[in-house]
A and B are shown apart, each in its own frame.
Chain A
Amino acid sequence: MENCFHCGDVCNETNIVFHNKNFCCHGCKTVYEILKDNDLTYYYDLEHSPGTTPSRFDSKFDFLKEPHIASKLLEFDERGIQIINLVIPSIHCSSCIWVLEHLSKIHNGVLNSQVNFPEKTVRIQFKAKELSLFALVELLTRLGYEPYISLADEKKTPKRTDRSLIYKIGVAGFAFGNIMFLSFPEYFEVNEFWLDRFKFLFRWLMFAFSLPVVFYSGWSYFSSAIKGLRSKHINIDVPIALGISVLFIRSTIEIALDLGTGFFDSLSGLIFFLLLGKFFQQKTYAYLSFERDYKSYFPIAVTKLIQSSTQFNTQNNNKKELREQQTEIKDLIQGDRILIRNGELIPVDAILISGNAFIDYSFVTGEAQPVSRASGDKVYAGGRQQGEHIELEVIKTVEQSYLTQLWSGDVFNKGNQTNFQTLTNKISKHFTIVILSIAMISVMFWWWFDASKALNVFTAVLIVACPCAIALAAPFTLGNMLRFFGKAKLYLKNAETIEKMAQLDTLVFDKTGTLTSSLESKISYCGVDLSIEEQDLLTNTLRSSNHPLSRTLYQWLQKHEIYTLDDFNEEIGKGIVGKKNGQHIYAGSYQYVNNNHQSSVYSPEKNTTQVHIATANTYKGYYNFINTYRSGLQETFKALEKFKIIVLSGDNSSEQESLSKLLPKHTQYYFDQKPEDKLSFIKALQDEGKNVMMIGDGLNDAGALAQSNVGIAISENTNVFTPACDGILDAKQFTLLPDFLRLSKRANHIISYAFLLSLFYNIIGLGFAISGNLKPVVAAILMPISSISIVVFTTLFTYWVTRKLSQNNQNNNK
């Protein structure tokens, strides 16, 4: 079997040999030809078979022809030069970068193009006169780089990334280095003539450098501490802010009164390390978004049908027939007629006027199989039409449609878990109280013993107690964990999610797309065996049909002789018939197949999907489509037995029996759950005091994902749309779920151990402080040592506990 030179797929029956190279389809060959003609075959030298099979360029992007819609997507449009930033999910290797950055060799209209690989975007600058946006998108699609354009792209404001943390680290690092350098001479403490002369200059320079560190870089600690105190929480920033202010004030007084050098180096070092910890904790996945709403799922425009009589546009008034016009979906109003083609999404609630609707709602409602609708029926927004094109009459605008209404709910507008307390904050409460009492006791002691030292000791205690090491323990542990999880393809939104995962006791699963795999379905045949000729005829008939069930069944049957049919007919939404050498074969719904002959032997089972087969005069049997559950489901759930497990499905209860065989006995099942039911179900669990994780995939789970303590979206392909959530899990890694949950618990243990270690440093420091011996040089040594050892400790420990995860991950990828 040959592999395609372009995309690397196995070339099945259609092996096209061109230029001594094999291609799996004409699409791949065309891309090769384009690249060859433009001298761009270096594409294939960079990486082995780097391409993607181009999808058919149909009317999907017609809306780009409308200047007013196109202009909303453009970033820049002046003097004939336009710039657009397009998301291209299929960017995956260096060849992709290369070819997309050499677009100007294919078309002269392209002036410049630049790929941002982590974000999977390409920024293209082109001459509007020579190349329209529509033509540009067409060119990209033909090369296999189809851009993803959705409603969310509209009114694009250039994305503003928050870089303040980097600036803060820059300022702190810059000042830290300079202050270290200036404070060194005095640490050697030679009572030398020149040093005595210059030390004032050095000290005031250090003071000057520390000002931006305290008042710019460290400011967030003050504001966060004040915020915490106002809401009567002692968070970790309270002792930090206390430490910073004591360090700064005491140092300033020391140099002003010529008492000593001050602690400016420790001060700036402390803030620098703390900010580094914060930075490390942020692991961002540029091309994933955890905040998506329906807007990134919906298209930007649909085809609207305008009748000449009701036409607002007076220019074409003389036309009598229906005219197609691309309209933005937000402009649709009640009563508008729209046209939905095969594979297009229904953007609004509407009534079916004409055509056979066969709508795939699996992503929206969780129903596993597409449903058919007859004219006059109501269809809901979010479904994907399969088969022929249909005409709809809008009954609700986008914002008012059933599905989009969900997003106006409270869950999506506020962070509903603001009261979550991290482990660090829990500990810091006790820590702060203990430190303050130690400081008080030592002050009282020294007051009585040697009053001149009392204030000195008090401030020294607060300085050494500044919980730098504690504050670094969590960021580095969780930051490391986030990276390990990311390698195993669980992409979490932030570090806090790991701490939340450690507290879970209830797991709620969606069925369709989560427990079942949407990529494969199991097919079984029931009825009279088909002869070889009949099988051949059936596969060839199926081959001619574009219906999803036909495609699936064809894939499953395969391995048959390919020939041209004498006759083929498809009644959309009903069935197909093929003819060869006088033989007929019918495939389709029970009614369709049975209309042709009377024998009705099989009464169709409910709740499953079937394709019925008959020849010209006899009914043969049917193919049953059953959802397949993910492999390893049973073992995975066995490992999760400690948790309360609930299955919450939008589908009907037909699968309960087969599910209960796979899942633990105590599992609870709830079927026919609407999206809002799911949300309120999670809420009810939380009111009982449960910590709930929701694992789902579709828009119907969006509310539940947002409401739950941890919402994980499962995705077969992380490039495509996932609803708003706390984390995205690659579907292949589903079996690692118990590992992830176990490791989050371990992360909490590691943080606790790190706390103990840092307490040890604090006790040493307190020894110096209480005895009144804390010199700047001691603080300057102790502080970095404790911080660095905590970083090393947590890094090694997390690496050690995640060994097994990396192993399992490798096994999964084999």
Chain B
Amino acid sequence: MSIIYLLLTISVIVAIIFFAAFIFSVKKGQYDDTYTPSVRMLFEDEIKSEKSTKQQLTNNN
């Protein structure tokens, strides 16, 4: 049953890693602007590809 020492240590370390990641992300300003990235991720990467997909859509219709 002394495996519980190991398990506890691992669980606490994992928790601390996540906690440190949270602090780091706040410090880097990742939570300063929570709106713009949500819009940005919907943009097409390449303008050309956007056009062609659009044309395809209209062709399909």
Contact = CB atoms under 8 A, between A and B. Distances in A.
Nearest to A194: B1
A45 B54 contact: yes
A205 B36 contact: no
Interface string B1-23: 10011001000100100010011
Nearest to A46: B43
A166 B50 CA distance: 39
B45 to A, nearest CB: 11
Contacts of B51: 42
A97 B44 CA distance: 13
B29 to A, nearest CB: 8
B35 A117 contact: yes
B43 A98 contact: yes
A40 interface: yes
Count chain A CB atoms within 10 A of each CB in B40, B44, B51, B54 and give the residue with the most.
B40
A194 B7 CA distance: 15
B54 A167 contact: no
A94 interface: yes
B36 A97 contact: yes
Count chain A CB atoms within 10 A of each CB in B1, B26, B47 and give the residue with the most.
B47
Given A39-B47, A101-B40, A174-B15, A116 B26 contact: no
Contacts of B40: 97, 101
A324 interface: no
A197 B4 CA distance: 11
B25 to A, nearest CB: 10
B15 A178 contact: yes
A201 interface: yes
Given A39-B47, A167-B26, A117 B32 contact: no
Count chain A CB atoms within 10 A of each CB in B1, B19, B31 and give the residue with the most.
B19
A188 interface: no
Nearest to B48: A39
A161 B36 contact: no
A132 B19 CA distance: 43
A119 interface: yes
Contact of B36 (A115, A167, A178): A115
A117 B33 contact: yes
Interface in B34-60: 35-36, 39-40, 42-44, 47-48, 50-51, 54
Closest 5 interchain pairs by CB? A117-B36, A116-B33, A94-B39, A174-B19, A117-B35
Interface of A: 39-40, 42, 45-46, 94, 97-98, 101, 114-119, 161, 163, 166-167, 170-171, 174, 177-178, 194, 197-198, 201, 205
Given A42-B50, A98-B43, 6 more contacts: A39-B48, A42-B51, A45-B50, A45-B54, A174-B19, A194-B1
8 contacts: A42-B50, A94-B42, A97-B40, A117-B35, A117-B39, A170-B19, A174-B22, A177-B15
